[in-house]
Amino acid sequence: MSEPAVGILISGAGSNMLALVEAMQTGEVPARPAIVVSNDPQAAGLAKASALGVPTAVVDHRASKGDREAFDAAVNAKLREAGAEIVACAGFMRIMTPVLTGAWAGRMLNIHPSLLPLFKGLGTHARALEAGVCVHGATVHEVTQELDSGAILGQAAIPVLPGDTAQTLAARVLEREHVLYPRVLTAFIRDPEAARQTPIAIFPDP
C-alpha cells in the first residue's frame, strides 16, 4: 500500500495524533492524514489537527445514548467519507463493537500505555506501580474485538524509577509512544504481514 489515507480516532489531548500527523507531513510515515475523528467535542486534539490542516469531525457518543453500534456506524461513516484506508486509534477511549472492529479488521491499530499483555484496560501506570514492575512502557497493536488483545506490532520499554508516580511514569511513557507509533505505522504500511511477524522493540538507553 503506497501513501494510504489514515483516519485517526481521538478522545483527548491528541499528542499521539500530533506525532502521527507530523510524521506523515515530514514524510517519515509514507501516508497522508485523511481525517481526525473525536467522540468528544471538547477534545483538545481537534484544534491541534485543524492547525495542521487536517480535516476533523466530531461524533459525540452521548448523542447515541448508549447505542454503541449506532455510534460506531457514525464514526465509520466519517472515516469512509474521508477516504480512510487505515485507522489509527490514538487515545480513543471508547469500547468498540464489531461495527468498527469488523469493518477495519487488519487495518486498524491502537496504542496502549503498557507492555501488553500486562495491564489491559484503564489505569495502567498506577497498576504497574502497584504491581512493582521495574520495566513499563507502551504497545502498538492491531485492534480486534477483544480489548487490547490484537497482534503486537511494537513495544517501547522504559525503566520504572525510584519515586515514580503514575503521573511521572505516564509522562515518560507518552514520550516514547510518540517515537513508537510513527515507526510502527510505517512498518505496517510497508508490509503488514512482516510487521506482525517482526514487531518493533524500542529499549531504553542503557
16 binds ligand GRF (CB under 6 A): yes
For 32-64, b where at least 16 C-beta lie within 10 A, e where not — what string?
Answer: ebbbbbbbbeebebbebbeeeebebbbbebeeb
202 binds ligand GRF (CB under 6 A): no
| Least distance from ligand GRF to the Cβ atom of residue 189, Å | 20
Q: Give 30: exposed, middle or buried? Use CB within 10 Å, 0-12, 13-18, 19+.
A: middle
Q: Which is nearer to ligand GRF, 10 or 74 (CB)?
A: 10
Would you call 112 a catalytic residue per the annotation?
Answer: yes
12 binds ligand GRF (CB under 6 A): yes
Q: Which three cell numbers stand for residue 171?
A: 509522562
Binding region for ligand GRF (CB under 6 A) out of 13-21, 54-62, 72-80, 190-198: 13-21
Contact map string, positions 89 to 118, toward ligand GRF, x by CB under 6 A? -xx-------------------xxx-----
Rounded Cα gap, residues 171 and 105, in angstroms: 30
| Least distance from ligand GRF to the Cβ atom of residue 134, Å | 20
| Least distance from ligand GRF to the Cβ atom of residue 43, Å | 8
CA distances from 147 to 2, 120, 134, 142, 155 (A): 29, 7, 24, 10, 17
177 binds ligand GRF (CB under 6 A): yes
| Least distance from ligand GRF to the Cβ atom of residue 15, Å | 3
Query: 165 CB contacts (<8 Å, ≥6 apart)?
Result: 129
Q: Which is nearer to ligand GRF, 83 or 123 (CB)?
A: 123
Catalytic residue among 112, 125, 136, 178: 112
Q: Give 175: exposed, middle or buried? Use CB within 10 Å, 0-12, 13-18, 19+.
A: middle
Q: Which is nearer to ligand GRF, 105 or 166 (CB)?
A: 166
33 binds ligand GRF (CB under 6 A): no
End-to-end CA distance of the chain: 36
Rounded Cα gap, residues 133 and 35, in angstroms: 37
| Least distance from ligand GRF to the Cβ atom of residue 173, Å | 7
Binding residues for ligand GRF (CB under 6 A): 10, 12-16, 45, 90-91, 111-113, 138, 174, 177
Catalytic (active-site) positions: 112
